[in-house]
């Protein structure tokens, strides 16, 4: 094998290793950032629900419609008697069980 081929092969391997390392590090950074964003959003939402705030006000002056790409948020509030309060733009309802009624009643 000539020196020219050896140098070309070494340069190709070096570039391949550099590209693989950069791709792996970019993947790990983006993955971590996305997980942190999702976790913090869920924690915020849980804190609002725990403190008794309604997860989303109705559409209108208090809340704008979601932009394209924003997360879809669905909220349903269940009372102790089993009645449900949902955002009118939602088409689906979650079933209400006896356990849900007990939690709503505080037992």
The rounded distance, in Å, linking the Cα atoms of 49 and 83 is: 18
Q: pTM of the full predicted structure?
A: 0.45
Range of the domain at 81: 61-107
The rounded distance, in Å, linking the Cα atoms of 42 and 63 is: 19
47 and 15 in one domain? Answer: yes
93 and 68 in one domain? Answer: yes
80 and 106 in one domain? Answer: yes
Phi-psi region of 23 (alpha: psi -120 to 50; beta: other; left: phi over 0): alpha
Give the pLDDT of the chain (107 residues) as one tens digit per residue. 899 999 999 999 999 999 999 999 999 999 999 999 988 888 887 787 777 665 555 544 444 555 666 666 666 777 788 777 665 566 567 788 888 888 888 88
Contact 101, 81 (CB under 8 A): yes
Helix, strand or coil, per DSSP, at residue 21? helix
């Amino acid at each position: 094998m000539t020196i020219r081929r050896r140098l070309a092969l070494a340069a190709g391997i070096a570039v391949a290793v550099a590209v693989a390392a950069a791709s792996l590090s970019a993947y790990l950074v983006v993955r971590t950032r996305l997980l942190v964003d999702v976790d913090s959003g869920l924690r915020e939402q849980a804190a609002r629900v725990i403190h008794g705030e309604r997860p989303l006000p109705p559409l209108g002056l208090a809340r704008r419609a979601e932009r394209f790409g924003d997360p879809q948020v669905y909220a349903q509030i269940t009372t102790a008697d089993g009645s449900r309060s949902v955002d009118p733009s939602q088409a689906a309802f979650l079933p209400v069980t006896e356990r849900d009624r007990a939690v709503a009643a505080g037992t």
